[in-house]
Amino acid sequence: MRRAVISAACAVVVGSTTVLAMPASAGPNKPQAPSDGKAHEYVVLYKEGAALGKSRDAVKAAGGSIVRENTDIGVATVRSTNPAFSQAAAKEKALDGVGLNRVIGTAPKTAVKAKGKDVESEAGAQGPISVKAGKGQDPLADLQWDMKQINATANGSYKIERGSKRVLVGVMDTGVDGNHPDIKPNFNGKLSRNFTVDVPYDADGKPLDGPCEEEADKSCNDAADVDENDHGTHVASTIGSPRNGIGMAGVAPRVSLVNLRVGQDSGMFFLQPTVDALTYAGKTGVDVVNMSYYIDPWLWNCANNAADSAVDQLEQRTIIKATQRALDFARKRGVTLVAAAGNQQVDYTKTNIDETSPDFASTPGEKPYKRTIPASCVSMPSEGKGVIPVSSTGITKRKSYFSSFGNGYVAVAAPGGDKVDNPSQKPDDKLGIWAAYPESLARANGELNPDGTPNTPRVLRSCAGGKCAYYQSIQGTSMASPHAAGVAALIVSKYGKKDRARGGLTLDPRIVERILRGTSTRTACPSPSTVDYVWYRLESGKWVKYTSKQTCEGTKAGNGFYGSGIIDALNAVKRG
């Protein structure tokens, strides 16, 4: 899952330390409605079947004005100065839900890094990495243990199916560096869109995406070929970097990559962009979308949790309903929906404790607080109906220590990295997932020497034909999900039919999922089924030990760690 989900660990006790992405408040979420007299934005869900005019009138009657509207799904962004707008909108019969228009993700990654809890970009402790290219391989292919694990190699699936340009894979993320040398050949700039705008600060004045004037283009509106976070570029590279003699290749090296930016520079995500991107994907003919994130401010959305205020309950119900409508819209139009399973190290089918939500201050003083989360609460979009949730594996094929799980929740497993999947239990960059990294970010983060060579083992450079490109090693279910999305794209490429309505190829998502699951390598629960995970993190110059007990339930045919099994690109395209 995206950095937000990876680092937003919910109250998982590891050794003597509880891993949290943000500090928890002592009590319930006090602010229930804006009271500062300023205009606030809301996401409003129209009642299904209600006349459009009546829903619009209802918004006005509640004291709001429509800023943006998605009539396909029945969702609108609304602005209002009425502090009781949510309560007023809830009484309108032509409306079906309302929530403050918050960023949906995690704390800014700088804040997370400062706590040493950023699982995804955690730097390894090993020395420099040497690479020797094999015959007929891209220069960095030898580092791609992940592709070897799923048989997406020169001697594997590449021999049979590399994907088709007619297959569109939507990367719903923080953006994609469309000019990266190992992405540009497959990047579809014409169809790419940016569905969000940078948010400089939260309601408490704390930096979120940062001041617009500090952007390279002095604007909060980024182009559709830009990624100022790095997450979306890494995901896109895993799905479809071409075999072009530079860097490395993706699972489906000939498919078309479409940037559907829904995430902020900070790694947060809003509800409205998610809904809009899914709608666009369905109408445009996108075949597969990858969603390595969760829709916040709530890690889990509960319809009637006693710990939540009435306004917050309404907001969470709105997130569930609006997202599901958008997922259904896209899936009915041929979009296969793939999502990361999460990195909270917990079983989603059990009762959990969440101390990270809400993770964005949409009203002054708003802070996360402790909630008991029953299995009936859902994380969106991964627990949405019709979505394929993907857990993460390490180089030894064990479920990654950070990966969430659950029998009946996880559909399949895929390599997402596990930097401590080694005898020392200390992070090693070679055990992460290597993929494209925007050069601008490598420079901004001080990871390059004056001559352009990397100064950290978690970043590599590859040059060919006068061009150089950069790659980084990170880990997470964010990295597992695009492997599955890539195999899904291969399945559509191999078995899809001509899409007469929108062009390209198409294949019923139910068939794609059936083939993806059916060709995965069945993997049984470990024995014993409860795993005592141990790992070390370097914090303030000292190695700190962490532990976590995680139990796998189910059979070899289907269980909480691996679902139907570890995906296999070769098996998926050699059948029939």
Mean of pLDDT values over 10-18? 33
Mean of pLDDT values over 533-544? 94
Handedness of CA 283, 288, 273, 55 (dihedral sign): positive
Has residue 256 got a pLDDT over 80? yes
- Grade residue 10 by pLDDT with cuts at 50, 70 and 90: very low
Q: Give the predicted TM-score (pTM) of the model.
A: 0.91
- Grade residue 118 by pLDDT with cuts at 50, 70 and 90: low
| Helical (H) or strand (E) element with 327 | helix 310-332
CA distance 369 to 375: 19
Mean pLDDT of the chain: 88
Scan for tokens 């896209």, then name that residue: 330
CA distance 390 to 387: 10
- Grade residue 231 by pLDDT with cuts at 50, 70 and 90: very high
- Grade residue 111 by pLDDT with cuts at 50, 70 and 90: very low
pLDDT recorded at residue 26: 33
pLDDT recorded at residue 7: 33
For the sheet with 412-415, list strands across it.
Answer: 193-194, 256-261, 168-173, 288-291, 336-340, 387-393, 412-415
Token couple for 201: 């600060």
Mean of pLDDT values over 317-335? 98
Mean of pLDDT values over 471-488? 97
31-83 pLDDT, tens digit per residue, is: 455 666 678 889 999 999 999 999 999 999 999 999 999 999 999 999 999 99
Pairing of strands 288-291, 168-173: parallel
| % of the chain with per-residue pLDDT over 90 | 77
Do the beta carbons of residue 316 and residue 298 sit within 8 Å? yes
CA distance 236 to 251: 10
Write the DSSP string, 92-113.
-TTEEEEEE--EES-S-HHHHH
Return the DSSP state at 69. Answer: E
Scan for tokens 């190695």, then name that residue: 543
15-36 pLDDT, tens digit per residue, is: 333 222 222 333 344 445 566 6
Has residue 194 got a pLDDT over 80? yes
CA distance 77 to 60: 13
CA distance 394 to 382: 21
CA distance 90 to 103: 21
11-15, 294-298, 397-401, range with the lowest pLDDT: 11-15
List helix spans (H) across 45-132: 52-61, 85-90, 109-114
160-171 pLDDT, tens digit per residue, is: 999 999 999 999
- Grade residue 494 by pLDDT with cuts at 50, 70 and 90: very high
Phi, psi of 537 (to 5 degrees): -125, 145
Which residue type, as a one-letter code, is found at position 249? A
Scan for tokens 């070679």, then name that residue: 430
Domains of the chain with bracketed CATH: 3-30+103-574 (3.40.50.200), 40-100 (3.30.70.80)
Do the beta carbons of residue 483 and residue 6 sit within 8 Å? no
pLDDT recorded at residue 224: 93
